[in-house]
Structure formats: structure tokens, C-alpha cells
Chains A and B, each alone.
Chain A
Amino acid sequence: DIVMTQTPLSSPVTLGQPASISCRSSQSLVHSDGNTYLSWLQQRPGQPPRLLIYKISNRFSGVPDRFSGSGAGTDFTLKISRVEAEDVGVYYCMQATQFLSFGLGTKVEIK
């Protein structure tokens, strides 16, 4: 099974400042089809998860451009360029190269 390790587990951020979340997989996420199925999900309080980023760096429909993803192989990063109040929630990295597995989540909160 692929284990996803996220850091930090908590990220207090000042409004308007950037935030960054890292995710490392226990093995390469490059699929046999050549794609890397690494996604980022946002879960606001009381809401279901929502897809933000898929295949490392592609923003899903309707996702603001302040969200960006990068990385390759086993190391990936989600960046929020300027945190807004509506960004409060828990962020999960998710791999879909082999079934699905998730990081433990990073709680983004406003200082």
C-alpha cells in the first residue's frame, strides 16, 4: 500500500500571506500510463472533500488561481499564494495511482 505523509499537520496563517503544504509518498506515483495521479483536496468544516488540484498541478474547475501544485515522483507541494478566510479547512493529498490513499490532512487556520 502507498503511504502518504503530509507536513505540517497544522498551519496557522495570516490573511493575505502564503501557505505551503508538503506531501511525500512511500513509492513513486508515476503510473504505468505515464501519468502521476496526485491530487489535493480541500475539506471545509462540515463539508465533503472538494477536489482542488489533479495530476500534480492541474486546477479543477472553479478553483481560484491562488492555489497551485507542484512536484514529481514522490514529493509534492500545494501552495496558496495569499490565504483568504474561505480557505480555512483541512487539506489532504491523495494518490490514485494504486487504489486511493490519503495523507492525514493539514489544518489551515487563520492566526
Chain B
Amino acid sequence: EVQLVESGGGLVQPGGSLRLSCAASGFTFSSYNMHWVRQAPGKGLQWVSYISSSSRTIYYSDSVKGRFTISRDNAKNSLYLQMNSLRAEDTAVYYCADGGYWGQGTLVTVSS
């Protein structure tokens, strides 16, 4: 069974940092491109970042470019999102996904 399990969310002050993790199982993680997608409370889905299977290609949405860093460790079947300089508007549930399978999400709240 394919599983994507996010962790690392929580309450952080504006300007702070968090590192999200996504543990993958049930499929050959190293063969799949991955995304981070977020959903602000009561809002729709917003793509955040993409990383290719080999980590050679990485993209970010304009709203997080320069503040967030996506990475992966194929040996550990894990995807990461380092989030720095967090803002109130980054408050959302963050999902890892390969486009087909989605995790349950982890909530990030940026507030003083």
C-alpha cells in the first residue's frame, strides 16, 4: 500500500523556520518526481515546489522562492521542505504528493 506521511508542522512565529518531512512507502520512491502542495484554511490547493526523482530539477512557486528549499533522500525514502522566513500567509496544511498519491498533510501555523 502506498503511503505518504508528513510531519514537522507546528506553530512558529513570523520570521521563524520549520522543516517538514514526508516519509514514503509502498512504492519505488526514487523513481518518482514529487511535489509539495499547500492549502490555507478554508481555501483551495496551491502548488509550492517540485523536485525530480534524481533531485536534478527543482522548481518553486514565486510565493516561496528564496525562502523554501525542497530536497529528498532516496536512500531514506524521504522528501523534505525547509521553510525559512515564514510569514502569516504561509499558514496552511502542507501535503506531499506525486500527483497521484497524497499524504494526510501537516499543519503549519505562523503566528505571534
Which A positions have Cβ atoms within 8 angstroms of B? Answer: 37, 39, 41, 48-51, 54, 60, 92, 94, 96, 99-105
Residues of B participating in the A interface, judged by any CB pair closer than 8 Å = 35, 37, 44-47, 50, 59, 61, 95, 97, 99-105
Q: For the complex, give the distance between the alpha carbons of A106 and B37 in Å.
A: 18
Residue of A39, A92, A94, A103 with most partner-chain B CB within 10 A: A94
Chain B residues whose CB sits within 8 angstroms of the CB of A94 once the complex forms: 45, 99
Q: Do residues A100 and B99 form an inter-chain contact, with CB atoms below 8 A?
A: yes
Chain B residues with CB under 8 A of A104:
44
* Given A39-B99, A96-B99, A100-B50, residue A49 in contact with residue B59 (CB < 8 A): no
In the complex, the answer to whether A99 meets B50 with C-beta atoms within 8 Å is yes
Residues of A within 8 A of B44 (CB): 92, 102-105
From A37, A50, A51, A100, give the contact of B47 (CB < 8 A).
Answer: A100
B61: chain A residues within 8 A (beta carbon): 99
CB-CB under 8 A from B47, the residues of chain A are 99-102
Contact assessment for A48 and B45 in the assembled complex, using a CB-CB cutoff below 8 Å: no
Distance from B63 Cβ to chain A, minimum over Cβ atoms (Å):
11
Smallest distance from the beta carbon of A93 to chain B beta carbons, Å?
10
Q: Across the interface, do B104 and A48 meet the contact criterion of CB distance under 8 Å?
A: yes
- Min CB distance, A31 to chain B, in Å? 13
- Write the nearest CB–CB distance from B43 to chain A, whole angstroms: 9
CB within 8 Å for A49 and B99 given contacts A99-B50, A100-B35, A100-B50: no
Q: List the B residue with the shortest CB-CB distance to A37.
A: B99
CB-CB under 8 A from A39, the residues of chain B are 99
Tell me if B102 and A49 are in contact (CB < 8 A).
yes
Q: Known contacts A100-B35, A100-B37; decide if A60 and B100 are in contact (CB<8 Å).
A: yes
A51 touches B102 (CB 8 A): yes
